[in-house]
Amino acid sequence: MHEIDLILTLTGGLIAALAFGLLTQRMGLSPIVGYLLAGIAVSPNTPGFVADKGLADQLAEIGVILLMFGVGLQFHFKELLAVRRIAIPGAIVQSVVATLLGAGVLHLFGWNWPSGIVFGIALSVASTVVLTRVLVDNKALNTPAGHIAIGWLVMEDLFTVFVLVLLPAIFGTATQATFGGVMSAVGMGSLKVVGSVLFTFVVGGWGIPRLLNLIARTESRELFTLAVLAIALGIAVASAKFFGVSMALGAFLAGMVVGRSEFSLRAATDALPMRDAFAVLFFVSVGMLFDVRTLWEAPGLILATLAIVVVGKPLAALLILVLMRYPIRTALSVSVALAQIGEFSFILASMGRDLRILSEQGANILIIAAMVSITANPMLYRSVGAMERWIMRQPKLWAWIQSRTAVEETPAPEPAKESRRAVVVGYGPVGATVVRLLEGQGIASTIIEMNLETVHALRARNVAVVYGDAGRFDTLDHAGTRTAEVMVLSSSDVGNGREIIRQARLLNPRIRILARTTYLRDAGKLRAAGADGVFSGEGEVALAMTESILNRFNATPEQIRIERERVKQELHEAQPSGVETGKSAPI
């Protein structure tokens, strides 16, 4: 019976998440809103199918671990260091302000201070998924405002990870009643964290890259995916079992170790799609907590919470940025982008509920605040220009802001642009020849290669190479497909080639794609997928043999030329259009 409940819960949750996620995506909203609605739909609080809450929570635990592993995998200190002057103090001050506002509001409504502090911390951290999506959609990710917002969010994430470690240390012991007991718990918790960090980075930093290197040499995608998942879950469980810290912290540290290795991109593209599936179940399980009665039981508290998230937090960030002499457009963009809450807020709420600090009503209010703020955030961000114009019409306010502004609004530094760029998939004999020819024409190439030894050899020669599967969207993006002028598929794998072509077209509709295939019969499939030119091994062999035979019988150059054209015409007529058989194609 338990197995049936598990399958029903998993199937029902995913189907509901797909339906509501697709609906909200079509409405121009974040799919996270849809996943939360799916949880509400399959909860005991609504009619129809009811998922097993206990099983959903267990599946959600895996989602939390994989979410934190993904955060660690994509965490880079250089992003934080690049904007440390504003991101570090700004994130700290804003987090403190939001926490105090949340705790103060809940205290006014009769809640105790521990509940208020946990609630306030949950309100202080924005959603990485939502912020990145808003910046990308508004083409602001690589602007000064985008860099500051990402660095700010990195600092918020670090602060939240620290809180996740300290909460069990403080509230999970019997010594929490006195100041000395709290300090003792914090000290012991800190020692455990240090031990976990040292173990993961020293032992894991030595062993994990070697293990992944061994697995990668098998050239088995399934084994590599399994290895990454085993590392994430294994270190998470080991951290909790042997060091007494949260599994979320262990997963975060494991992600950081893998992210520092050469396998970071492949881990993100091959293994983390599994994370997305379990993350969906996490959001569904959060939605299952929602009780609609909260809407009329605590309307004042809901409105106050929304005011903190949508007004209080961005105003605090805006004031910090203006005081630190940033232009008003940058200050508005950063502060509005942070005016929402998401996945980390739910993780904090779940832990608070498990530790009996936060009530079910508190979790419900956070869900409402997340749904409203995530829905409103893209629209708020698009109104930044209108906000700036309104501020400019307030003489005293505008004069004060102008007197504070000293930092110039300079474009974000961009990498040096090549006049012409190419992406070459595969570095066998054909790929190597193509790269050499492109270099001779002044065209810089980035190679995508799955053979680890070839990758090491190319990097030793300072050749631009990306280790990963070219059939994955992120791998192609990392290789620079968005700005490349031409892509050459030097391998003859038709099935994977079609997927590479489709993904490349999504990234860059104008890119010229040249593909290679062994058999003439497969060329039409690559052409249908979007290749501009397809070169067949069979066609090249036929042409080479024709020329060799004619040379053997002393044919003149003109006779050879005519016969080559005739053979090419016959091959072309026998196959679908678009098949190249030796004719040089302009790049």
Q: What DSSP string runs through 412-429?
A: PP-PPPPSSEEEEE--SH
CATH 3.20.20.210 fits 54-384, yes or no: no
Cβ-based neighbour number of residue 194 at 10 Å = 12
Distance CA 509, CA 396 (A): 49
In total, the chain counts a number of residues equal to 587
- CB contact set of 152 (below 8 Å; sequence gap of 6+): 83, 86, 87, 90, 91, 94, 317, 334, 338
Strand-strand pairing, 421-425 and 512-517: unpaired
CB atoms under 10 Å from CB of 180, counted, come to: 9
Confidence (pLDDT) at 587: 39
Q: What does the radius of gyration of the chain's CA atoms come to, in whole angstroms?
A: 28
- pLDDT, tens digit only, all 587 positions of the chain: 456 766 787 888 889 989 998 998 888 777 888 888 898 888 887 777 777 777 777 777 787 788 778 777 776 666 667 677 888 888 888 889 999 999 998 888 888 888 888 899 999 888 877 787 787 777 776 678 887 887 788 788 777 777 877 777 677 654 444 556 656 766 766 777 778 788 888 888 888 888 888 888 887 888 888 888 888 888 888 887 887 777 777 888 888 888 878 788 888 777 667 777 777 887 888 788 777 778 888 888 999 999 999 999 999 999 998 888 888 888 899 999 999 887 778 888 888 888 888 888 888 888 888 888 888 888 888 888 888 888 888 888 888 877 766 544 444 444 444 457 899 998 888 888 888 888 877 888 899 988 888 888 888 888 888 888 888 877 888 888 888 989 988 876 656 788 888 888 888 888 999 888 877 777 778 888 888 888 776 666 666 676 677 676 677 777 767 776 676 665 555 555 444 444 433 33
**What is the Cα–Cα distance from 587 to 440, expressed in whole angstroms?**
13
pLDDT at 336: 92
Q: Is 255 exposed, middle or buried (0-12, 13-18, 19+ CB in 10 A)?
A: buried
- The domains of the chain are located at 54-384, 421-580
Best CATH choice for the domain 421-580 from the list 3.40.630.30, 3.40.228.10, 3.40.50.1010, 3.40.50.720:
3.40.50.720
Q: Which residue has the tokens 């969906």?
A: 280
pTM: 0.67
